[in-house]
Structure 1
Amino acid sequence: MKEVVWGIIGCGDVTELKSGPAFHKVENSSLLAVMRRDATKAKDYAVRHKVPLWYSNADDLLCNDDINAIYIATPPSSHLEYALKAIKNNKNVYLEKPMALNAIEAQQIREALETSSSKLTVAHYRRQLPMFLKLKQLIDNNEIGEVRCADIQLLQPLRTDIVTTTEDNWRTNKSISGGGYFHDLAPHQLDLLYYLFGDYEKAHGYTSNQSKSYEADDVISGIIQHENDIQSRGLWAFNVNDTSKKDGLNIYGSTGEIRLPIFGNQIEISKNGITEVLKFNHPEHIQQPMIEATVNYFLGKQDNPCAAGEGLKIMELIDLLSNSNR
């Protein structure tokens, strides 16, 4: 394979700016076709983004032999179906996060890969952003000494720029998203904890639907014990007042502290009474660095930037913290 030729299944909002245009811009990558069940919207997307082909049926796209890679950008409820079909058709897969509705489905995807030549990368794209590559470098270089613990806080009102609210808000429909806003937003943070500190040994969470604004829980808290003895704590609340909004990851070490917003663009490093602030400019298409790494992986030029086994680990954490099997 000399070029990765893409088809997108699910050309919704996330593909408009965050990901879709990057498939044209990455070297040795092109976007040949898009699919959306609404034919009018599929055609409109293709015309606006200068994509040669469009479909309203995923099977038609998957049967196109000119396409060798599929970006699955649908809500989580259809990730399993489309991933298994893509793998059966020997297509490589770039799969949106969270990997599936739950860890059971994620495991099915991983098992399908074991008897296939297909490759799959999970779109935990923050791993490839300069800000978070720098964060990992700081941790790996013991910039704040040995890491002791980490604290996540994401507190948001019912309607904010982080919490997406539309007329057809699938994110709060448990049968489509797996849960609520926790399932949509926490994968970013939980994957970073895994990326920075390694695998978990055990985890436990508590959940509640306090506001009763939708069927999913709107408050989730939990503790993660990592295998290297680091502990992480998280609090996610999507029902607070406007002035209580928070988006933060604090990492505490033996000689200092690192603070950053997961959905922001700066890192603060404090030690010996001095605080240094590092600011970053995210790329226009925020998934482009991850897509570039994925293309290079598919072409055999680098290791997988986020393998199915890692995506499965994040799904396990989501299930444990949200008590999804209760």
Structure 2
Amino acid sequence: MKHIKWGIIGCGDVTEVKSGPAFNKVPNSSLVAVMRRDAIKAADYARRHGVAKWYDNATDLINDPEVDAVYIATPPLQHEEYTIQALAAGKPVYVEKPMAINAEAAKRMAAVANQYGVKLTVAHYRREQPLFLKIRSLLAEHSIGDIRFVNLKMLQPKQNDLIAKAEDNWRLNPAVAGGGLFHDLAPHQLDLMLHYFGNTKSFHGISVNQSGEENVDDLVTGHILFENDIVFTGVWCFTVSNGMNEDICEIYGSKGKISFPMFGHEINLTIKEKTETLKFEALQHVEQPMIEKVVSYFLDQAENPCSAEEAIKTMELLDGFTLK
């Protein structure tokens, strides 16, 4: 195979700009079919994005002989079912984060991929964005010396612009999303911590529903001790007052500090009390660099940019921070 023809299951808001158009923009890739349970919306998406086929049933898309690989962009509850169905049909899968509704579901997905010998990649796409690649290179170069600890804060008011809008607000339904906004946003951050610092020795957290306005926890704290003795501390709160927003990750080393937002476009590198700001252009399609890597992997031209086994570790952190 020299070209991947993609089908999307769940062509909702997240695929409009972040990911969907990128499948036609990366080399050796094209989007040939989309699926949404609402047939009218599926047809509308296909028309607006120039996609030849649309379905209102996932099985029909998976069994379409023209579809080589499947991108699953539904809410997390459906990730396991559709991933397993596609893998069983011999179709490689690129599945959105979080990988599943919990770590046990993610492990079942990985087991099926191994059983059938079919490729599975998880969309922890920040790994391949220029800003986060630069941070990894700064760490590899020991630009701030030996890493000591990491502090992360994600503070947002109830109404914020960080997540894609959804008609039914499923992100606040734990039965569908696994949790609240923490489960939607923290996978980006925790995956990067694992990507940068390796395996964990121990982790624990606290999660509470302070506002009582929704059936999900709105304050989460988490602590990680990595095997290399680097310590991570994070706090996520989604009920701070307007104007109190914070999105900051600070990596402290023996010679300086790297500071950056997870949803921004610059890095502050501080060494010996002197700070340099590195700025990056906003990406039109934030998943495009990752999708390019996934296409290369599915064509046997590169390694898996985020394996199921790696993503399971992120799911275990999510569970460990929030399970009572």
Distance 1:65 1:165 in 2: 33
CA 1:31–1:72: 2 relative to 1, 3 Å: same
- How far apart are 1:160 and its partner, in Å? 1.1
Map of 1:208 onto structure 2: 208
Quote the Cα distance in structure 1 between the aligned partners of 2:219 and 2:289: 32
Rounded to whole Å, the distance in 2 between the matches of 1:164 and 1:84 is 26
Contact 1:129 1:282 in 2 (8 A): no
Aligned residue for 1:263, secondary structure, equals coil
Q: Deviations over 1:220-264 (max 9, x none)?
A: 001001111111000000000112110000000000001000000
Query: Paired residue for 1:34?
Result: 34
* Matching of residue 305 in structure 1 with residue 305 in structure 2: yes
Question: Is the Cα contact below 8 Å between 2:204 and 2:320 reproduced in 1?
Answer: yes
Name 1:186's counterpart in structure 2: 186
- In the alignment, structure 1 residue 125 sits paired with structure 2 residue 155: no
Match of 2:112 in 1: 112
Higher mean C-alpha deviation, range 144-153 or range 163-172: 163-172
Structure-1 residue corresponding to 2:287: 287
TM-score (norm 1): 0.98
Deviations 1:242-287 (A, max 9, x none): 1211000000000000100000000000111100000001321110
C-alpha displacement of 1:166: 4.8
Same amino acid, percent of matched pairs: 51
The 3-state SS of whatever aligns with 2:154 is strand
Query: Structure 1 residue 164: deviation in Å?
Result: 5.2
| Correspondence 1:5-20 to 2 at 5 A | 5-20=5-20
Matches within 5 A, 1:165-176: 166-176=166-176
Counterpart contact for 1:156–1:245, Cα < 8 Å: yes
Cα displacement (A) at 1:65: 1.3
Please tell me the root mean square deviation across aligned C-alpha atoms, in Å: 0.9
Which residue of the partner structure matches residue 160 of structure 1?
A: 160
Query: Which residue of 2 is the match for residue 322 of structure 1?
Result: 322
Distance 1:50 1:167, change over 3 A: closer
Structure 1 counterpart of 2:246, one-letter code: K
**How far, CA to CA, are the matches of 1:166 and 1:5 in structure 2?**
27
Tell me whether 163-172 or 231-240 shows the greater mean CA deviation.
163-172
CA contact (8 A) 2:14 2:164 kept: no
Q: Offset of 1:44 from its aligned partner? A: 0.1
TM-superposed CA distance for 1:191, in Å, is 0.5
Instruction: Give the aligned residue type for 2:60.
Output: D
My pick for the range that moved more, 91-100 or 163-172, is 163-172
1:270 is matched with: 270
CA shift, 1:114, in A, is 1.1
Matched, 1:102 2:72: no
Take 1:15 and 1:45, find their aligned partners in 2: how far apart are those partners?
A: 10
- Secondary structure of the residue aligned to 2:150 is strand
- Determine if contact 1:219/1:238 at 8 Å carries over to the other structure: yes
1:58 maps to 58
Question: Counterparts of 1:167 and 1:35 in 2: how far apart (Å)?
Answer: 17
Asked if 2 retains the 8 angstrom alpha-carbon contact of 1:6 and 1:23, the reply is: yes
Q: For each residue in 1:30-76, what CA deviation from the matched residue of structure 2 results, as whole angstroms up to 9, or x when unmatched?
A: 11100000000000000000000000000000111111100000000
1:74 match? 74
Unaligned ranges ≥5, structure 1: none
Show CA shifts across 1:14-35 (max 9, x none). 1000000000111100111000
| Structure 2 residue 197 is matched with structure 1 residue 197 | yes
Please give the per-residue CA displacement for 1:110-160, whole angstroms capped at 9, x wherever unaligned: 111111131011000000000000000001110000101101100000001
2:232 maps to which residue? 232
Distance 1:255 1:285, change over 3 A: same
Q: How does the TM-score come out when normalised to structure 2? A: 0.99
Measured in 2, the distance between the counterparts of 1:237 and 1:177 equals 17
Alignment partners' CA distance in 1, 2:30 and 2:164 = 29
CA distance in 1, matches of 2:27, 2:115: 29
Residue pair 2:13, 2:166 contacting (<8 A) in 1 also: no
Paired residues of 1:42 and 1:55 also in contact (CA < 8 A): yes
Residue of structure 1 equivalent to 2:47? 47
Distance 1:89 1:248 in 2: 42
| Separation (CA, whole Å) in 1 of partners of 2:66 and 2:51 | 14
**Number of residues of Structure 1 aligned to a counterpart in Structure 2:** 324
Deviation for aligned residue 1:167: 4.6
Q: Distance between the aligned counterparts of 1:147 and 1:246, measured in 2?
A: 23
